[in-house]
Amino acid sequence: MSKHIAISPEEAADRLAIRELIEAYADCADRRDAKGQMALFTADTHFVVYMNAKDPKPLQELHSREALAPVFADLNQYDATTHFVGQSTIFTLNGDRATGEAYCLAHQVTVDGEKRRLMVASPSATLTLSQRSAAPGSLPSACSTSTGCSGAPSLNGDERVGHEKRRQRRVI
């Protein structure tokens, strides 16, 4: 159990911006907004996908924002998706950089005539975040620390959609 300590208003704002970023990622996924998802990442992002928790070797490793397009477009194969964002933990928060981890349950539905299939995945993401400026009034653009409302955080560095513990369940 953690000790509760006082935090500054700036740190509280940073933590809230990070959580909003994680939620924006899930919202873009459910709306099939691949461009919106991509905008949450820095141009030089490092995105690593693991599909087997027991295999330390990644299934896929991408090194740019543009390389994410087919990954996010892959959600179009489902008739509906809903990402329930669970706990998120911030490990470090220093100036304009942060690291953390987030979990969610992704429900993905396919419909084939009268048959419906539901796949439930339990992805986790290990995040390295950095601050970047954003246009006034834009959504908090990706995960990171922010200093007040002056900029939007962005996913950067090792964004591991990691050790994605996929559990599949079929429902008819």
CA separation (Å) from 170 to 116, 117, 163, 165, 166? 8, 5, 22, 16, 13
pTM for this one?
0.73
Which structural domains are found in the chain, ordered by start? 9-167 (3.10.450.50)
Separation of alpha carbons 24 and 20, rounded Å = 6
E strand or H helix that includes residue 107? strand 97-112
Separation of alpha carbons 60 and 37, rounded Å = 18
Q: What are the counts of helices (DSSP H) followed by strands (DSSP E) for the chain?
A: 3, 6
pLDDT in tens, the chain (172 residues): 567 688 899 889 999 999 999 999 999 999 999 999 999 998 889 898 888 878 888 888 999 999 999 999 999 999 999 999 999 999 999 888 899 999 999 999 999 999 999 999 988 888 888 876 443 332 233 432 221 112 234 444 333 333 333 333 323 2
CA-CA-CA-CA torsion for 139, 92, 160, 43, nearest 10 degrees?
50
Strand order across the 80-94 sheet: 60-62, 46-49, 152-167, 115-132, 97-112, 80-94
Q: Integer distance in angstroms from the first to the last C-alpha of the chain?
A: 41
